[in-house]
Amino acid sequence: MVGVTALQSAVSIQIGIVVAYLLLALGVGLVAYRLTDRTAEDYYLASRTLGTVVLLFTTFATLLSAFTFFAGPNIAYALGPEWILVMGLMDGLIFGVLWYVVGYKQWLVGRAYGYVTLGEMLGDRFGSPALRALVAGISLFWLFPYVMLQQVGAGGALSALTNGVVPYWAGAGLITVFMIGYVALSGMRGVAWTDTLQGLFMLTMVWAAFVWVLSAAGGVGAATDALASSNPEFLALGDGSASPSLFGGGPYSLPWMLSQAIGIAFGVAMFPQVNQRFFVAKSEQVLKRTMALWPVVVLLLFVPAFMLGAWAAGLGVAMPESGNILPGILAEYTPTWFAALVVAGAMAAMMSSSDSMLLSGSSYFTRDLYRPFVNTDASERREDLIARVGVAVFATLAFVASLVNPPSLFVIGGTAFGGFAQLAPPVIVALYWSRTTRSGMVAAILASQLFYMVTTFTPPAGETATVWGIVVPGVMETFAGWSSSVVGMLVGLALVIGVSVLTDATVAEQPSVMQGPADD
């Protein structure tokens, strides 16, 4: 009886912490709602007024999905801590440079012409509503499964935390309802503020977990010694080969690490919720400060989080049933309430990604599909209303999809990033090269998406699968060790340049949109 009572009180503490956290997020959303004008620009972009701390944390918390928070330590647990290098290069450096190259340029253009979405900017530059719809359609195609993934993660985390007392569907449903609540109400301002809260919370929790586990395990030296005796290969950089090679190899070979870092970093910059943040900075000063802080924030979060995953292997922590090592190592070394706080932190990571994705997904739908094609003279207030309804519909559909048993986090997460990465080469070329033509854009976007989808969705080379009675042949997924995501980007780059050289601009195209006022 004592055991049952103890379990019940542990579960009620855990649920209490999670619900308190959700209510706090909703409260922040309500405060933001009171400050929001009823216009689309304010709803989506907080009227372009975000300051440094809020912009940094909203972008960062947005990047940190369920995938990063749980899958990162899992990868370090299974393969070794080199994932820290991959994520450092990806989110700290490549994304930092893209923050300037893509972000600052989009900010300048967006501020001058009032753009809210990537599709809107490209559609205007190339005089093509069809291009605008194409970019929005492709983005929504990759975004939807990714939102679903977050709900799967949140439902699973709540269910594992409470030993199944809260079933999976109830956990995912609870998160969905809360998110619809504060996103539909408060828009970008509410999302940015809750993200800041969530980002700070996660950072605090990871460091607390790091210190707690290490002091229980006897310090950094002892934890690493344990790893050196259980998995000595984890401490050696790379895949175990004697020297780095630019071609071939599996996990932690040089092509593998670079493919992950490049593919995901460019994908991140084209993810709607991140790309839209390029339009929201209050001033250049905000963009500048944020850029310099990127590598620091990445360092602060990923080193402790992923080392915990690697050390768990050395300390002999078994992978728990939930399939995530982070809750496993916490259950071993920290009290129940603390593990519950960290799981709340993981849910914060999922929610802060999902809320932004819902908002951006809704804006892509209303701005780039509904307004140009369904109701061209919708008023500001009408668009604002459609946007809020769109959030609720998008979230509900993703929730329903999440109830159907979905494939693993890593596979879908990885494929969505690659799908977005295919948009990067044509977009960057369009931002900087005035000779880019509409035909070049369309050819590059369609061909690179097709290339990526065929290589990703078909079975591995040499195997076949049968779908609805049709035998699908296997197609290679890596090329001399490089991922199809990176190879697809090269295909897109070659096509956008090649086709633009061979074709002429149509009269509707306006290269001046990207060129700026002082260029003649």
Binding site for other proteins (CB under 8 A): 81, 84-86, 88-89, 92-94, 96-97, 100-101, 104-105, 108-109, 219-221, 223-224, 228, 232, 235-238, 240-244, 254, 257-258, 261, 284, 288-289, 291-296, 298-299, 303, 307, 432, 515-520
Which lies closer to other proteins via its Cβ, residue 181 or residue 295?
295
386 vs 366: CA distance, rounded Å: 7
Which lies closer to other proteins via its Cβ, residue 265 or residue 340?
265
CB of 107 to other proteins, least distance (A): 10
Which lies closer to other proteins via its Cβ, residue 242 or residue 318?
242
Alpha-carbon distance values, 127 to 140, 350, 429, 499, 503 (Å): 22, 37, 17, 17, 15
Which lies closer to other proteins via its Cβ, residue 254 or residue 341?
254
CB of 281 to other proteins, least distance (A): 13
CB of 290 to other proteins, least distance (A): 9
* Residue 48, SS3 per DSSP: helix
CB of 152 to other proteins, least distance (A): 31
Which lies closer to other proteins via its Cβ, residue 289 or residue 382?
289
CB of 162 to other proteins, least distance (A): 35
CA 413 distance to own-chain centroid: 8
CB of 491 to other proteins, least distance (A): 22
CA 394 distance to own-chain centroid: 17
- Name the one residue in this structure whose structure tokens are 């970093």: 265
432 vs 414: CA distance, rounded Å: 28
CB of 257 to other proteins, least distance (A): 6
- The closest of 397, 102, 60, 413 to 266, measured between CA atoms, is 102
Which lies closer to other proteins via its Cβ, residue 27 or residue 232?
232
Count Cα neighbours of 182 within 13 Å in the Cβ-side half-sphere. Answer: 29
CB of 304 to other proteins, least distance (A): 11
Could you count the other beta carbons within 10 Å of the beta carbon of residue 331?
16
CB 262 within 8 A of CB 486: yes
Could you count the other beta carbons within 10 Å of the beta carbon of residue 279?
25
Q: What tokens appear for 211 in the block?
A: 């210190």
CB of 101 to other proteins, least distance (A): 7
CB of 110 to other proteins, least distance (A): 12
Which lies closer to other proteins via its Cβ, residue 84 or residue 161?
84
182: CB partners within 8 A, 6+ apart: 25, 26, 28, 29, 30, 190, 191, 194, 355
CB of 93 to other proteins, least distance (A): 5
Beta bridge partners of 341: none
173: CB partners within 8 A, 6+ apart: 155, 399
Which lies closer to other proteins via its Cβ, residue 79 or residue 307?
307
In sequence order, what DSSP letters do the residues of 239-287 get, joined into one string? Answer: SS-SS--SS--STTSHHHHHHHHHHHHHHHHHSHHHHGGGG-BSSHHHH
Count Cα neighbours of 92 within 13 Å in the Cβ-side half-sphere. Answer: 16
Which lies closer to other proteins via its Cβ, residue 181 or residue 511?
511
Which lies closer to other proteins via its Cβ, residue 40 or residue 223?
223
**DSSP-derived secondary structure letter, 480:** T
Which lies closer to other proteins via its Cβ, residue 105 or residue 382?
105
Beta-strand pair 464-467/470-473: antiparallel
In sequence order, what DSSP letters do the residues of 113-126 get, joined into one string? Answer: HT--SHHHHHHHHT
CB of 367 to other proteins, least distance (A): 23
Beta bridge partners of 472: 465
Which lies closer to other proteins via its Cβ, residue 21 or residue 294?
294
102 vs 105: CA distance, rounded Å: 5
CB of 181 to other proteins, least distance (A): 37
Alpha-carbon distance values, 29 to 26, 32, 186, 400, 415 (Å): 5, 5, 5, 24, 32
Which lies closer to other proteins via its Cβ, residue 80 or residue 390?
80
Count Cα neighbours of 331 within 13 Å in the Cβ-side half-sphere. Answer: 18
List phi, psi (to 5°) of 461: -55, 140
CB of 284 to other proteins, least distance (A): 7
Which lies closer to other proteins via its Cβ, residue 77 or residue 178?
77
Contacts within 8 Å (CB) and 24+ apart, 314-320: 314/223, 314/224, 314/225, 314/226, 314/227, 314/228, 314/229, 314/230, 314/231, 314/234, 315/217, 315/223, 315/226, 316/226, 316/230, 319/77, 320/160
